[in-house]
Amino acid sequence: MSASINRMTEGSIPKIIIKFAIPLFLGHVFQQLYNTVDSLIVGNMIGNSALAAVGSSGSLIFLLIGFFGGISQGMGVVVSQYFGAKNYEKMQVAIHNAMTFNLCAGVFMTLFGTLASPWILELMGTPAEVMPESVEYVQVYFMGSLGMVMYNSCMGVMQAVGDSKHPLYYLIISSILNAILDIVFIGAFHMGVGGAALATIISQFVSVILCLFRLMRTNEVYRVSLKKLGFKFEMLKKLLQFGLPSGFQNSVIALANVFVQSNINSFGEMAMSGCGAYSKIEGFAFLPVTSFTSALTTFVGQNLGAGQVERAKKGSRFGIMCSLLIAELIGVLTVVFADPLIAAFTDETEAIGFGVLKAQTLGFFYFLLAATHCLSAVLRGAGRAKVPMITMMSFWCFFRVAFLYVTVPITQTIDMVNWVYPITWSLSTITLLIYYLKVDWAGQYRAKKT
């Protein structure tokens, strides 16, 4: 077996999960660098207004990209289960159906995102003074949708078979390229926020090309062939059954976050830039947990595919406990160093104050965020993606919107916008934990031979 394949159905559980999670963590770090480098360079080279434009665009970008990213994540579970069961024929069919779907999705997102983003930004209540730069950044960003969607698809295939190293290598290359292009486009050519977005999409396409080259040249069981691209109804149906719940979950949560962002926007440019800077820091701070959740989904998927139910449960317990401890440690550190971290993005005292306030409100509750994501990852790996979807939609979307709709007009402060996060994290964690403990979520796999 090639070193690029990590069969997670054998060997020490802690060693396998950690070994898989470390390259994922490093890869997520470099992926997070894309937008963060944009924000750092934009904030320091162009100014606070441009930083506000980039920062306020994150929720819209995730709204449109997150849907197909979630679908790819769910489709990867199908691939991992077939891989665990050593059913390579069906695994090949699943891979090529997923690739074809995402190719079509990327083209759609390019057209829809480019055309609809000005209208959505207006609905978000983006202030007039940052609207032109926000529209420019988002429209250029979505011109590269095909690269982003296809990268998620390629990465999903590699992770499903336990290869977390090659996506890391490609992300390192593209992230360095992104930083160089940012400096060239903004510093040398004075292209503004559009230059930052252009640097991102060029770098993303480079990573996609590298991924596809790897998948099409390998001799492993997950090899991709252009001749095999196409749809087979039964397989596509199964892939969507696994993928759509995660996609809808991402989009509905992102839609709620668009509403949250509109509330932040109502407090002005300083709030937008300060909270936008915090979101970049939080994106980095939570990467270790994100890595464990991805590892858990693959681990549970492969082991349940192989019929190893008890091993899947042991691995899930280990991953959840590690994530909780790491998340809380990072949360405390984020609170302690909030001031200099936010100040790295902007020198406006008022903007720094908004960012620090958000960090101080959320940081001590990171363990709840970790618990929700880990429990959701385990259930997705077990093919029960509808449970986290319903839970997250209920609390992270409907409750979050209702809470802000009632409290913000009454208090007239940004405090409620910050507190809505730990409150909804608590509710989703309690609900998912009850399901995890009370329901035999792996029961459908018990009949398989181990």
**Is 18 a member of any domain?**
yes
For residues 426 and 223, what is the distance between their CA atoms, to the nearest angstrom?
A: 42
For the record, the structure tokens of 374 come out as 């880990």
For residues 41 and 35, what is the distance between their CA atoms, to the nearest angstrom?
A: 10
**Is 192 a member of any domain?**
yes
For the record, the structure tokens of 158 come out as 């590699």
**Is 6 a member of any domain?**
no
> What is the domain count for the chain?
1
**Is 345 a member of any domain?**
yes
**Is 449 a member of any domain?**
no
Amino acid identity of residue 190, one-letter, is: H
Of the listed ranges 21-35, 136-150, 211-225, 320-334, the one predicted with least confidence: 21-35
φ, ψ dihedrals at 267, nearest 5°: -95, 5
pLDDT tens-place string over residues 135-159? 888 899 888 889 888 988 998 899 8
For the record, the structure tokens of 244 come out as 């759509």
- Per-residue pLDDT at 20: 84
- Per-residue pLDDT at 262: 82
Are 59 and 260 spatial neighbours (Cβ–Cβ below 8 Å)?
Answer: yes
Provide the domain limits for residue 399.
Answer: 13-440
Q: Is the pLDDT of residue 134 over 50?
A: yes
Are 202 and 191 spatial neighbours (Cβ–Cβ below 8 Å)?
Answer: no
Specify burial of residue 222 (Cβ count, 10 A radius: 0-12, 13-18, 19+).
buried
For residues 175 and 206, what is the distance between their CA atoms, to the nearest angstrom?
A: 10
For residues 226 and 279, what is the distance between their CA atoms, to the nearest angstrom?
A: 39
- Per-residue pLDDT at 59: 66
For residues 246 and 240, what is the distance between their CA atoms, to the nearest angstrom?
A: 10
Are 150 and 106 spatial neighbours (Cβ–Cβ below 8 Å)?
Answer: yes
For residues 401 and 252, what is the distance between their CA atoms, to the nearest angstrom?
A: 11
- Per-residue pLDDT at 40: 73
Query: What average pLDDT does this structure show over 279-308?
Result: 85
**Is 219 a member of any domain?**
yes
Query: What average pLDDT does this structure show over 13-25?
Result: 86
Q: Is the pLDDT of residue 449 over 50?
A: no
Q: What is the 3-state secondary structure (H, E, C) of 150-182?
A: HHHHHHHHHHHCCCCHHHHHHHHHHHHHHHHHH
For residues 133 and 326, what is the distance between their CA atoms, to the nearest angstrom?
A: 37
DSSP string covering 274-291:
HHHHHHHHHHHHTHHHHH
- To the nearest whole number, what is the mean pLDDT of the chain? 86
**Is 8 a member of any domain?**
no
Q: How many residues are recorded in the chain?
A: 450
- When mean pLDDT is compared over 199-203, 258-262, 269-273, the highest value belongs to 199-203
CB atoms within 10 A of CB 1: 9
For residues 419 and 260, what is the distance between their CA atoms, to the nearest angstrom?
A: 11
CA separation, residue 86 to residues 2, 33, 90, 156, 221 (Å): 15, 36, 9, 18, 10
Amino acid identity of residue 53, one-letter, is: A
String of b and e for 244-267 (b: at least 16 CB within 10 Å)? bbbbbbbbbbbbbbbbbbbbbbeb
- Per-residue pLDDT at 227: 92
